């Protein structure tokens, strides 16, 4: 059988499908799985023999675009559709397949439950992780998964390119991804700068700054010139090489952003800082356990992040650089 898996965005959510798809690939070699997502994310599914990746770039917008995408997907002779996003675009595609009599299975996202928690406050609930929601969706299709995934296969060519550019690993390597898509998910510039400055003072340690976007890349480039043992790779590497560089790290420090999930794809331990959002809503990275957050009655105020603050003070961003540094040192000590 051929299963069509729909998950167009975002980067973090697509990364959270990887442990599930990897488990399916291993447990059901007789089946074929076609993942439809953005082309630049194909590297996250490397080494899965019975998993095909179909790039949706430029075809997933509007009725005409979805019709074109459906036409291109006819080549796979799909038996069932697994919708892991459940948005208007996937609704349209599902409609086309439903007319053909194909089986359709849709993720239960519980968007209203997540929003209710942000409206009425966190009362100790622990919602299922997004990865668990994906596993449950496949279970409805009769496909069972397990939690044995640790990392994708090593991409030999990408690993060689990384070694050639950055050299063999010596000492401790730490990745830092200080930015996020939403303002409420980021620490103030002053705090971020202090963290980078204190990290760069650690002995026998080198640092790699990750990010995306023109402004972010320029700021990280300036920091790499300002602080010792610090290299900015923001916007410099294709995803395959970025994954192999992460594989060589000892720790990733990041906000609640896509980088925690990308790091999880290669089994990199991550310290995630949560501000306006909350890990209990289900967006903690696969098998990640290190988090930092403040206890406030207004948290979480958003599911994914926001540019506004209902209290007009962004109190969640008041986290000291020393607190972060102490946690980093604690994790590195435990990993020795």
Say if CB 188 and CB 158 are below 8 A apart: no
The pLDDT score that the predictor gives to residue 266 is: 97
Domains 2-140 and 156-334 share a fold: yes
DSSP 234-256: TTTS-HHHHHHHHHT-SEEEEES
Is 243 a residue whose pLDDT tops 90? yes
| Residue whose C-alpha is closest to residue 51's, from 32, 27, 65, 37 | 32
The pLDDT score that the predictor gives to residue 213 is: 82
pLDDT in tens, 148-196: 999 999 999 999 999 999 999 989 999 999 999 899 999 998 999 999 9
Mention the CATH class of domain 156-334: alpha beta
* Boundaries of every domain in the chain: 2-140, 156-334
| Residue whose C-alpha is closest to residue 276's, from 308, 316, 313, 311 | 316
Is 306 a residue whose pLDDT tops 90? no
Is 99 a residue whose pLDDT tops 80? yes
Q: What is the mean pLDDT of residues 29-44?
A: 96
Q: Give the global pTM.
A: 0.94
Q: Which fold has domain 2-140?
A: Rossmann fold (3.40.50)
Task: Return d(Cα 286, Cα 129) in angstroms, integer.
Answer: 9
What integer best gives the mean pLDDT of the chain?
94
Say if CB 43 and CB 245 are below 8 A apart: no
Q: Which two tokens stand for residue 84?
A: 């892991």
The pLDDT score that the predictor gives to residue 150 is: 96
Phi, psi of 145 (to 5 degrees): -125, 170
Is 336 a residue whose pLDDT tops 90? no
Q: What is the DSSP letter of 298?
A: T
Locate all alpha helices (DSSP H) within 85-230, ordered by sequence: 88-99, 111-120, 130-140, 156-166, 189-200, 214-226
Name the percent of the chain lying above pLDDT 90.
84
| Residue whose C-alpha is closest to residue 153's, from 53, 306, 46 | 46
pLDDT in tens, 263-294: 999 999 999 999 999 999 999 999 999 999 98
CB atoms under 10 Å from CB of 235, counted, come to 15
Confidence class for position 39, pLDDT limits 50, 70, 90:
very high
């Amino acid at each position: 059988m051929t299963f069509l898996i729909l998950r167009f965005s975002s980067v973090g959510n697509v990364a959270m499908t990887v442990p599930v798809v990897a488990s399916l690939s291993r447990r059901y070699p007789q089946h074929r799985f076609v993942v439809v997502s953005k082309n630049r994310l194909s590297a996250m599914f490397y080494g899965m023999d019975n998993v095909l990746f179909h790039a949706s770039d430029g075809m997933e917008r509007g009725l005409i675009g979805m019709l074109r995408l459906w036409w291109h997907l006819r080549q796979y002779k799909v038996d069932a559709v697994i919708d892991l996003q459940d948005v208007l675009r996937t609704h349209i595609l599902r409609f086309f397949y439903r007319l053909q009599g194909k089986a359709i299975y849709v993720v239960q996202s519980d968007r209203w439950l997540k929003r209710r928690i942000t409206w009425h406050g966190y009362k100790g609930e622990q919602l299922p992780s997004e990865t668990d929601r994906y596993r449950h969706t496949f279970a409805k299709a009769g496909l069972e998964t397990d939690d044995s995934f640790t990392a994708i296969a090593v991409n030999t060519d990408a690993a060689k390119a990384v070694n050639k550019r950055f050299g063999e690993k010596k000492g401790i390597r730490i990745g830092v991804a200080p930015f996020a898509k939403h303002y409420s998910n980021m620490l103030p510039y002053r705090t971020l700068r202090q963290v980078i400055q204190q990290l760069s003072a650690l002995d026998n340690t080198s640092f790699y700054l990750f990010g995306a976007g023109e402004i972010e890349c320029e700021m990280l480039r300036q920091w790499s010139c300002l602080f010792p043992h610090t290299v900015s790779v923001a916007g410099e590497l294709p995803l395959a090489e970025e994954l192999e560089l992460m594989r060589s790290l000892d720790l990733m420090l990041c906000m609640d952003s896509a980088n925690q999930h990308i790091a999880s794809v290669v089994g990199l331990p991550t310290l995630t800082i949560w501000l306006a959002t909350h890990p209990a809503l289900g967006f903690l990275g696969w098998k990640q356990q290190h988090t930092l957050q403040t206890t406030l009655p207004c948290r979480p105020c958003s599911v994914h992040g926001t540019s506004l603050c209902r209290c007009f003070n962004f109190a969640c961003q008041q986290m000291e650089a020393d607190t972060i540094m102490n946690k980093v040192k604690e994790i590195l000590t435990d990993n020795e």
